[in-house]
Amino acid sequence: MTWWGRAGHDVEVLTVVPAIAPTDRDRELASAFRRHDLDFRDDPGTRAMYSSDASIYRIPPRGVVRPRSADDVAATLAVCRELEVPVTSRGAGTSIAGNAIGPGVVIDFSRYMNQVLAVDPQARTALVQPGVVHAVLQREVEAAGLRFGPDPSTHTRCTIGGMIGNNSCGARSLGYGRTSDNVRELEFLTAAGEQIRTGYDEAGRPVVTGGDRIVERLGELMSGFLAVGRTEFDRFGRQVSGYAAQHLLPERFDLGLAMVGSEGTLGVLTQASVALVRTPPHRLLVALGFADIVEAGTAAPLAVAYSPTACEGLDSRVVDVIRERRGPGSVPELPDGRAWLFVELAGEDRDEVLDRARKLAAEGFAQDARIVDDPVASARLWRIREDGAGLAGTAPSGKPAWAGWEDAAVPPASLGAYLAEFDELVTQHGLTSARTATSAKAASTCGWTSRSTVRTATAGSASSSATRRRSSRGSAAPVRGARRRPGAQ
């Protein structure tokens, strides 16, 4: 069967799910879910829709459960445990490394478990269900002058559960940290059905309720990897791929933080309390123009020295894609150059922010600079970056181009050299690419058209002034059927 549809909120899929007659095991799975009165679907259309996320991968699941409560999640896990079916949690499915697809049962949190349960403006926290969309949370808290700090380009669709699943960052993680820097309390269920709560006591020490055996086992496990855990992890802000094993070290054991970025492979999140940050009243954008993306990347650490809340780079190929798709008027006037850094400065005092912007613009490392003080004009510029990453997923020729080189984590000081070598590599293979770079997220994406031409790529740098928090002790168990490496986005 060929099916065009929409999975999660915005992922278009064209997938063939063979109309094979259900096996006895399929029937057993469906009837077990129905006995528990779960919203379970295994028709070919649903399986086709959920076979895709924003990645190049296609894996039809056996079926999809859309839980209404944590009890539904527990019942789903119990059935899957009994029948030995792998589980994949899913928010909006906007991850780009096949994170939200799998061959067993997909649990879609976006359908019903999508509420903001409480907001505490004094404590600056929000209690949310995992399927709440980032932009919905933002709308609920903005009247109190607050926001959830990390904001991926997909903020209009992506869910807080998905952000916790892959430790999302987004443009403003320079100012507000990664998702892991913004979680307070987590509730999750393990594959074995144990409920675990993580949080902090009044002195700020991590606490874990439930999962004693798991906590103990994790401590034992890490005792064999202490040197690696202490020296190889968390060396720079955007080193978030793989399990965050540094949080399992005895000197700072924090199970909650170790869960963030584990892609649903250690447990299924059913509720989260997240930190909110105050929005600084004054904010402006400095757009810097460079000869190419390598120069822009080389200058990024210099721009970061001005304490921006965001520092994002993009080259003319991304801009060209937008102009081609949306018309010449779609891109506002940019400083001279073939690549740009967009540097957002924010603060309490307008004069101080403006002064910082003027100094940055006068630094002389860019060939041209523009200070954009008007929020409407700067929003239009940010749209280039937000839309560019998505639009560059289609070749300028109009042919589909699939991402293939994603989220390379690069320390900011090495960014220019990385981008130069990446360009060489792409050229050696007779391919073309379009890149975006973010000082908070290191990413690069290449896509192949149906023939052999790579058409799109986004590349980025890494750096985050993400603040690190507390430490202590905790642990977890693998959800059966764990998929790809954790941390890939």
Ligand X SMILES: Cc1cc2nc3c(=O)[nH]c(=O)nc-3n(C[C@H](O)[C@H](O)[C@H](O)COP(=O)(O)OP(=O)(O)OC[C@H]3O[C@@H](n4cnc5c(N)ncnc54)[C@H](O)[C@@H]3O)c2cc1C
Binding site for ligand X (CB under 6 A): 53-54, 88-96, 99-100, 109, 130, 152-154, 158-159, 161-163, 165-166, 168-170, 263-264, 268-269, 389-390, 441, 489
User: Whole-number minimum distance, CB 414 to ligand X, in Å?
Assistant: 20
Residue closer to ligand X by CB (options 152, 211) is: 152
Tell me which H or E stretch contains 120.
strand 116-120
The nearer residue to ligand X, 79 or 158, going by C-beta atoms, is 158
Query: CB burial class (10 A; 0-12, 13-18, 19+) of residue 49?
Result: buried
Q: How far is CA 284 from the centre of its chain?
A: 25
C-beta closer to ligand X: residue 258 or 369 = 258
At its nearest, how many Å lie between ligand X and the CB of residue 266?
A: 8
What strand order describes the sheet that includes 105-108? 40-41, 63-65, 105-108, 87-90
- What DSSP designation does 52 have? B
CB of 426 to ligand X, least distance (A): 20
Q: Which is nearer to ligand X, 96 or 294 (CB)?
A: 96
Query: Could you tell me the smallest distance in angstroms from the CB atom of residue 238 to ligand X?
Result: 9
Spatial CA neighbour of 86 closest among 70, 107, 103? 103
Considering beta carbons, is residue 125 or 159 the nearer one to ligand X?
Answer: 159
For residue 440, the surrounding DSSP H or E stretch is: none
Nearest Cα residue to 324 out of 402, 387, 403: 387
Specify the length of the chain in residues: 489
Closest distance between ligand X and the C-beta of residue 150, in Å? 7
- Taking the complex as a whole, the smallest distance from the CB of residue 180 to ligand X amounts, in Å, to 11
Collapsing DSSP states into helix, strand and coil, what is residue 167?
Answer: coil
DSSP state of 50: T
Supply 313's token pair.
Answer: 């780079």
Through-space distance between the first and last CA atoms of the chain, rounded to whole angstroms: 29
- Closer Cβ to ligand X, 98 or 289, answer by number: 98
* Helix, strand, coil content of the chain in percent (nearest 5): 30, 20, 45
CB nearer ligand X, residue 156 or residue 449: 156
Is the Cβ–Cβ distance between 294 and 351 less than 8 Å? Answer: no
Smallest distance, ligand X to C-beta of residue 291, A: 25
